[in-house]
Structure 1
Amino acid sequence: MRVSTLSGRVTVILGGAASGKSAFAEQTCVSTGKNRLYWATSQILDEEMQKKVSRHLVQRGGGWTTLEEPFDARKVLPIAQPEDVLLMDCATMWLTNHLLADHDLQKQTEALLSGFDNCAADIVVVTNETGLGIVPENALARRFREAQGRLNIALAARADCVVMVAAGLPMVLKGAL
């Protein structure tokens, strides 16, 4: 898959689980030729997540500076400079962390988007599209799905470019790559 350089300051790449969105986002960042910062939002709470993180490290390869921060955008976004591209992987894990910690999701989303506005670097955000499946059976899962949908809408509205990845194939929904 050929990836061109970014045409906007904020790019959102969304798709289903294991759709190829992270690999596409990584290739997009590499194509910029800029210093690459990787904002890791996951918390490693079990062996399965550790294996997933390890696979992502191998997939990503060298040349990245990793910033591990599961919650606070204010600790990450000011670090990025104009010569950098910052990859947030992923907004879904970031949201999950806040949801499970019972944080005010609207307040956290506003802080994240405000941080994007004040960040000097190009930003690429990976996020999951969770609204294409069945209605979840339990209240927490339904709350998460709704919150993820609202977050994705807010991210897409703020983004210069939005790309949906399905089966490893990118489809530009807004802007251009």
Structure 2
Amino acid sequence: MAGNKMIFISGGVRSGKSAWAENKILHAKARRSIYLASGRAYDNEMAQRIERHRQDRFYDGWTTIEQPIHLEEALPRLKTGDAVLWDCVTTWLANELYAGWETGTPCAAQPGCMEKKWAALQETLHGIRAVSELLVVVSNEVMDDFIRDEPYQRWLGRIHLWLVAESEEAFEMENGFAYKRK
């Protein structure tokens, strides 16, 4: 276990997990509320959604760091005492697994590629915890996501197990209610 407190929350699509996590961060007695965003705009609709969410967070006092792939690049922008929300593991994982698909060789098809990204993620989350007061990690349930291929499900399950083990608290969100699992 590294640094300060980490909370993990998972749940289905539209379960309320992100709103619950945002509330946890906003009520922490932290220097700043940091939102690490993993989303990528692949089309105009998604770009508009990301911009709308960014503006909503701005008015609520958030500092947003758009970091869809290389989460470690956010570390130098964090300050001691920040409360950090990373939303969402599943979008980061999809971005990483399928990086390079346009060339025909996504990371998922390259031996050892995801293992390196996994090691970097673990090191990055330890680094975030070392400077933050609180880290809240949000993810979809393993079988609830829209991507249904074996490497994705296997990696998401592996990451979830590690996050639960590393967290002081873990919750599952269902129908707007957070159920404590750890």
| TM-score bracket for the superposition, by shorter chain length | 0.7 to 0.9
What secondary structure is seen at the aligned counterpart in 1 of 2:85? strand
Offset of residue 157 of structure 1: 1.5
Name segments (4+ residues, structure 1) moved above 6 Å: none
For the structure 1 residues 9 and 148, does the alpha-carbon distance in structure 2 shift closer, same or farther, using more than 3 Å as the test? same
Structure 1 residues 105-124: aligned runs within 5 Å: 105-119=114-128, 120-121=131-132, 122-124=134-136
The one-letter code sitting in structure 1 at the alignment partner of 2:77 is I
Deviations 1:131-150 (A, max 9, x none): 268x94xxxx2321222111
Structure 2 CA distance for aligned equivalents of residues 95 and 19 of structure 1: 20
**Corresponding residue number in structure 1 for 2:155:** 147
Q: Distance in 2 between matches of 1:26 and 1:98?
A: 24
Q: Is the 8 A contact 1:113 1:155 kept in 2?
A: no
| 1:24–1:55 Cα change, 3 Å | farther
**If the length of structure 1 is used for normalisation, what is the TM-score?**
0.82
d(CA) in 2 for partners of 1:66, 1:95: 19
Residues 25-44 of structure 1 mapped to structure 2, 5 A cutoff? 25-34=21-30, 35-44=32-41
Contact 1:131 1:149 in 2 (8 A): no
Change (3 A) 1:172 1:78: farther
Identity over aligned residues, as a percent?
A: 31
Q: Secondary structure at the match of 2:181?
A: strand
Instruction: Answer whether contact 1:77 1:116 (CA < 8 A) is retained.
Output: no
State the Cα deviation string for residues 102-155 of structure 1 (Å, max 9, x = none): 33222212211112222210211111112268x94xxxx232122211111121
Query: Are residues 1:171 and 2:179 paired?
Result: yes
Which residue of structure 1 aligns with residue 91 of structure 2?
Answer: 93
Deviation at 1:84, TM superposition (A): 0.5
What value does the CA root-mean-square deviation take over the aligned residues? 2.2
Where does the alignment leave 5 or more consecutive residues of structure 2 unmatched?
100-105, 108-112
Q: Secondary structure at the match of 1:70?
A: coil
